[in-house]
Structure 1
């Protein structure tokens, strides 16, 4: 069992962050395999052939991707902790990746090879500039397979952070980290179980940790680099929304008689389909900006709907840091339950 042992200051200084690089790594792993996740099937079908063609044309890319998808130790250059918090950019991460020396890349790849559960070799590791070539691959994957979906993915990731930040403020880190992954769990008063496999524990110093959500459906990994906080990457809640047919029009929003749910019609008629959709979406707390991206509507439109819902005591708002987070009230939960949308806010 591998534990992340936190010192006395680590908890107070731990925080959430986003990482386009981690999101790209998750996409690389998903595209390298047959798709077994229903809500990613359409995206996988659109991009898989082009991704495979790229690998077939580039032995370095193919060897790296096949190894990354079948090892318990990710190469260091693809698992760097993000340095920009919630505003981390892909280009800043790729610049750090490209600067990793060839000797360090080679050593890390050999460690990955030793801990792979499939037969591999490093015959594809020829030439030089390994980290820069890796950065070029990740940049291409981002622009060809992820960039168009990033606003929706980012909104989902921010909602996960909002949800966990609310739990953190109310209950502390153990509750905020609950069910972050299948294997992670809070152990005792000062440790996080990262893996149930054998391995050395890590000590988290006074700079704390980063917790980084991604839309990959499974898998958790630890990012580490000298003189940087550890970053625990984990699957975000609610990633199934990415594959729902109505996601582009707004989760739960009616698009006509064929797109509406019979059991939701009463709530739609009562408060309007737009406000009903927002009320259903607030099963997980969200900011107005996150709702704007989710529904593809202006902040003014979303703000008007939220004002009406607040006046009716169906939603409330609280400030979490610099963000104003909206959540359903008990009355809102009961009304959605009558309308068929589920009544377990934040569960």
Structure 2
């Protein structure tokens, strides 16, 4: 059990952010452990051919450390809510070289370090420059094609948590964050293989939703840049569903509340019986924020039909529209989450 001192006063300084580098690092975990992260099989198949011809030896060596720990300097705690990859890479590049070498070696403590890690001792500046170059290349191949949906999922998670805090108070925000995380009023309690204690040490706690985190919560309790927890946003299991291309929408003459053919998104039967299959499918889909056009595309609906269902769900208090940049996307409210218990949770364990 990891115990992080966290008093009610720390709630005031709690903040959210979405970090490109946390997505990079957690996605590397996904690549290295397909047995544990099987729900990302579609993503692995998609990026596999491009990555097969791209060695990335330094990045892979740090991400595949036998200790299962990654150097903290790779994931600097963001100073803002929406850092770019360039901003985070500048922080990484400015890390003191002695700290870079120390953390790189620590991740391989007890095992023979590969040449790529040993280089941090003999040529730390060169090794760090190569690492930054490899991160850019990896991000371009494996993350950038999916970045809009990753960012949208994180934005939706942040907005949903804000709604939770407004509706039920800030304590509900912390206690409902993840099944493996609890708060007893004085400390955050996180399941761990060994007993450990941590402290915020004067830092605010940053909560970093990361689509590649899977079912785990990761902690940073000693990094010079701050303290953070990484966890997956609600509905992350649906992020890898391929959207239906535009142009395949149902005939505009299709009656409101119905679809011709099978539903591309299958809602729970009880919810479909209550709301109707199409409206239930819309609510199911909104485990991750979607715009009206995205709902129409994914569910093969005419845009006017999608707009009608979203308006009805909004008027019933089940969804809310939030601005993400220039786009208006819809996500479920607390009431919508309660109505669809289990909707958007990770897929059931494979047999």
Q: TM-score, normalised by structure 2?
A: 0.73
Task: Tell me, in whole angstroms, the C-alpha distance in 1 between the residues paired with 2:243 and 2:321.
Answer: 29
Alignment check: 8 A CA contact 2:25 2:63 kept: no
Deviation per CA, 1:234-277: give whole Å up to 9, x if none: 12221110233557679xx998525556997x969x9794x554
The 1:161–1:318 alpha-carbon spacing in structure 2 relative to 1, beyond 3 Å, is same
Instruction: Please say if 1:257 is aligned against 2:261.
Output: yes
The Cα of 1:105 is off from its aligned counterpart by 1.0
Task: Tell me, in whole angstroms, the C-alpha distance in 2 between the residues paired with 1:281 and 1:100.
Answer: 41
1:71 aligned residue: 67
The 1:147–1:229 alpha-carbon spacing in structure 2 relative to 1, beyond 3 Å, is same
The 1:181–1:287 alpha-carbon spacing in structure 2 relative to 1, beyond 3 Å, is closer
The Cα of 1:317 is off from its aligned counterpart by 4.3
1:339 aligned residue: none
Name the SS of the counterpart of 1:4 in structure 2.
strand
Instruction: Please say if 1:113 is aligned against 2:108.
Output: yes
The correspondence for 1:82, drawn from 78, 81, 88, is 78
The 1:255–1:112 alpha-carbon spacing in structure 2 relative to 1, beyond 3 Å, is farther
The correspondence for 1:281, drawn from 285, 288, 291, is 285
1:40 aligned residue: 40
The 1:30–1:161 alpha-carbon spacing in structure 2 relative to 1, beyond 3 Å, is same
Instruction: Please say if 1:177 is aligned against 2:174.
Output: yes
The 1:25–1:7 alpha-carbon spacing in structure 2 relative to 1, beyond 3 Å, is same
1:155-174 map, 5 Å: 155-174=152-171
The Cα of 1:146 is off from its aligned counterpart by 1.2
Task: Tell me, in whole angstroms, the C-alpha distance in 1 between the residues paired with 2:289 and 2:233.
Answer: 17
Unaligned runs of 5+ in 1: 337-341
Deviation per CA, 1:289-324: give whole Å up to 9, x if none: 5x6556669xx966665334445x36464989x999
Task: Tell me, in whole angstroms, the C-alpha distance in 1 between the residues paired with 2:112 and 2:79.
Answer: 32
1:6 aligned residue: 6
Equivalent pairs counted in the alignment come to 319
Task: Tell me, in whole angstroms, the C-alpha distance in 2 between the residues paired with 1:142 and 1:38.
Answer: 21
Task: Tell me, in whole angstroms, the C-alpha distance in 2 between the residues paired with 1:48 and 1:232.
Answer: 28
Name the SS of the counterpart of 2:115 in structure 1.
coil
The Cα of 1:128 is off from its aligned counterpart by 3.4
The 1:48–1:319 alpha-carbon spacing in structure 2 relative to 1, beyond 3 Å, is closer
The 1:246–1:11 alpha-carbon spacing in structure 2 relative to 1, beyond 3 Å, is same
Task: Tell me, in whole angstroms, the C-alpha distance in 1 between the residues paired with 2:58 and 2:175.
Answer: 39
Task: Tell me, in whole angstroms, the C-alpha distance in 1 between the residues paired with 2:36 and 2:342.
Answer: 28
1:219 aligned residue: 216
Alignment check: 8 A CA contact 2:238 2:344 kept: no
Alignment check: 8 A CA contact 2:163 2:333 kept: no
The Cα of 1:229 is off from its aligned counterpart by 3.6
The 1:305–1:173 alpha-carbon spacing in structure 2 relative to 1, beyond 3 Å, is same
The 1:34–1:73 alpha-carbon spacing in structure 2 relative to 1, beyond 3 Å, is closer
Task: Tell me, in whole angstroms, the C-alpha distance in 2 between the residues paired with 1:76 and 1:333.
Answer: 34
Task: Tell me, in whole angstroms, the C-alpha distance in 2 between the residues paired with 1:242 and 1:293.
Answer: 13
Task: Tell me, in whole angstroms, the C-alpha distance in 1 between the residues paired with 2:191 and 2:308.
Answer: 45
The 1:161–1:204 alpha-carbon spacing in structure 2 relative to 1, beyond 3 Å, is farther
Name the SS of the counterpart of 1:157 in structure 2.
helix
Q: TM-score, normalised by structure 1?
A: 0.73
Task: Tell me, in whole angstroms, the C-alpha distance in 2 between the residues paired with 1:166 and 1:96.
Answer: 32
1:286-305 map, 5 Å: 289=291, 305=309
Instruction: Please say if 1:133 is aligned against 2:130.
Output: yes
